[in-house]
Amino acid sequence: MTRVLAIDLGGSALKACLFDADGSVAASANAETGFEEKAPGNSEQEPAFWWEALTSACERIASENEGGLDGVAAVALCGFTRTQVFLDQAGRSVRPALGFRDSRAESVLAAVRRDEALCADGVLAGLNAFHPTARLLWLKENEAANWERTRLVLEPKDYLNLQLTGIARSDRVSQHWLAQSLAGGDASVAARLGIARALLPPLGRPEDIVGQVREGLAGALGALAGAKVLCGSNDSWTAVAGLGGLKSGSAYCISGSSEVFGLLSHRRGEAEGLITIPWGEELWHLGGPGQNGANLLTWIVDWLDTTPRPFQERLAALLGEPENPRPLLFHPYLHGERTPFWDGDLAASFLGMTSGHGRGDLVRAVMQGVGFLNRTVLERAETATGLTAEAVRMAGGGTKSPIWNQMRADILGRPVLVSRHVEMGLAGCFALCRVALGFAENIGAAAPEADFTSYLPHAAQHAHYDALYALFTEMHEPVAHAARSLEKLRRGAS
């Protein structure tokens, strides 16, 4: 029996799923991951920990499934991005990977921005603390010994592919920004910043075959020897592939520990704060990853209700409390923000709170704030491309609340289509394997059959949210100014 193994390396857990050829699940397992965040702006993890998580998940799958991992013909991985793995000449990790929330590169960018020539030439355009080139510059300036040892920079899923196959490869989607800054020899952005070194492995398409699982892997992984290993891509691209959304005019939101929101277009467009990158042949992506999403809902519920009940029960109880008719605004920047503001110093803020507001009002305000941020990204992308998304496809843990799904539809003013299959990264990996094994002609045709729950916008609620959204947008800059000023006070005190 032909089977495929799909693996999704997430910020809080690695998920693995063994699929039969028809898409039915034979077995699945999770293993916790997570980043070490010892100080504000510091986010790291040892790559070897991800390999341990993959090994652990596969051992559990093998123990729960008759025949273990026998019969696996293809393996595909996806994973979080905006995370750099630094390897030496022998492919060994030089230091812990810099995670997607790490903003320490802001310190070196502040110094570089004082170079008038670089500013005048536009070298620094688009660089921020989360840009891979800024991360390399931070390593060079702060850890000279580690920088000298670094010969290769991989994405997290590429590191796992390297352990499986012994071959270093990556995809053009995940490595677009670093590849772009390294291109051009002595005139490249990286070279102008003192990074004159070839650091990328060969790049290809997500559906390309990296190689085969090597012989001699320990434990259950030994049964995978000879299986094809797909290049894969970042978790967002792969989830959208699983949603069947890799087409022009399609909007999506992957609501996980943080959120990724985007619009796909057949024409290139540019919008302030949005990432524009090619996602396929004649297909452009406008949008990008945020720092804040379903993690904020977990934060507010855990803060307001510390009882040992399941999360969804506590959320339902809080939302069932009386609603104050006076609106409450929340700017959802609990962890700073990436798309569309790219400012690690942004901070969250409740506006309009009175003694009459209760716990349920706080929860609703948090949910609305995330929805308003989604709308900011969508409106900028639509304006830039001239397209109007007919619906927004959603997946991820944040879609488990029907109330939040309906709220987003009302805020966005268009249908929200929520996949009944939460793990769309795994579905996208399965689609990649189908292409590799010849069961589908291309990735667009390889996605599992659509299975959505539709949430249609209510006209009255949409009009209400229009007014709130206008105020949310108007108050962004005062909130940002206050956050930056408070951060300056903190730095001065320390």
pLDDT at residue number 450: 66
φ and ψ of 398, to 5 deg: -70, -10
Beta strands in 250-296 (DSSP E): 251-255, 259-265, 275-280, 283-289
Q: Which helix (H) or strand (E) holds 168?
A: none
Name every residue whose Cβ is closer than 8 Å to that of residue 463 and which is 6 or more positions away in sequence. none
DSSP string, 351-414: ES--TT--HHHHHHHHHHHHHHHHHHHHHHHHHHHT---S-EEEESGGGG-HHHHHHHHHHHTS
Average pLDDT of each block of 10 consecutive residues along the chain (494 residues)? Answer: 91 92 90 88 95 97 88 95 95 96 91 85 83 95 97 97 98 93 89 89 95 96 97 93 91 89 96 93 92 94 96 96 96 94 93 97 98 98 96 92 97 94 87 91 75 95 97 97 92 74
pLDDT at residue number 422: 64
- Measured over the CA atoms of residue 119, residue 124, residue 130 and residue 136, the dihedral's sign is negative
Q: Which domains does the chain show, CATH number per domain?
A: 3-231 (3.30.420.40), 236-494 (3.30.420.40)
| Cα–Cα distance for residue pair 292/232, rounded to 1 Å | 25
Strands 416-419 and 392-395: parallel
| Cα–Cα distance for residue pair 197/365, rounded to 1 Å | 47
Name every residue whose Cβ is closer than 8 Å to that of residue 120 and which is 6 or more positions away in sequence. none
Q: Residue 136: name the closest of 100, 87, 93, 86 by CA.
A: 86
Q: Residue 209: name the closest of 243, 169, 237, 244 by CA.
A: 169
Q: How far apart are the two ends of the chain, measured CA to CA in Å? A: 62
φ and ψ of 391, to 5 deg: -155, 165
pLDDT at residue number 186: 84
Q: How many residues does the chain have?
A: 494
pLDDT at residue number 47: 97
pLDDT at residue number 67: 82
Name every residue whose Cβ is closer than 8 Å to that of residue 493 and which is 6 or more positions away in sequence. none
Name every residue whose Cβ is closer than 8 Å to that of residue 197 and which is 6 or more positions away in sequence. 151
pLDDT at residue number 449: 67
